[in-house]
Homo-oligomer: A and B are copies of this chain.
Amino acid sequence: MNGDGIPRRGLMLVLSSPSGAGKTTISRLLLEADPGLTLSVSVTTRPKRPDEVDRRDYSFLDSAAFEKMRAAGDLLEHAKVFGNDYGTPRAPVEKALAEGLDVLFDIDWQGARQLKGKAPKDVVSIFVLPPSTGELHARLRRRAQDSDDVVAQRMKRAPDEIAHWNEFDYVVVNRDIQESVASVRSILTAERLRRQRQVGLPVFVKGLSEGL
């Protein structure tokens, strides 16, 4: 439903970016501001970091459990990054969409591409870019929990991720976190107003026309 009571098709909002561009902070602020949006929690085989909470940040699985989900078709998308598996469980996404919620995905370009392939009309994808290379470095270093090795590894991977910027619908350069959140919220508001997403419009317009 939109605010005006016209039934609407749920959308899948994908946020991707190189590590350190600010995507996770944008996601958190977006979810706090918008009760109609819920996060898709990915599953992963990588070890939990000290500040992470199981089932909030990721659902942490062993390789056997991940492979079982993948083989059963229970993952909407999956990708291997730094030797670890990541995936999006299908069931919670379908449940949320059926309840009229929109779903937010914090996934990489590989996942974005698979999701877009499966639901081209329902996926809206945004790529978040850092304002500069220096800023990307600085943000990665500020993450105290990561070792120098991890920072170096993430920086090394940034060009691969950035190389896929041109597969996304929208691009937001994250110079200021509040501005970027406002930009993403505008995109979400606009996409909800797309004619083809407001599936209740034919009935609404029919009612209007009959009254004329």
Binding site for B on A (CB under 8 A): 2-4, 6, 127, 129-134, 136, 155, 158-159, 162-163, 165-166, 168-173, 175, 179, 182-183, 185-187, 189-191, 193-195, 198, 201-202, 204-205, 208-209, 211-212
The answer to whether B195 touches A168, judged by C-beta atoms less than 8 angstroms apart, is yes
A179/B3 contact (C-beta < 8 A), A127-B195, A205-B162 known: yes
Q: In whole angstroms, how far apart are the Cα atoms of A171 and B183 in the complex?
A: 20
Cβ contacts under 8 Å, A202 to chain B:
166
Q: In whole angstroms, how far apart are the Cα atoms of A182 and B31 in the complex?
A: 20
Closest Cβ–Cβ distance, residue A121 to chain B (whole Å): 14
Cβ contacts under 8 Å, A170 to chain B:
190, 193-195
* A134, A136, A163, A193 pick with most chain B CB within 10 angstroms: A193
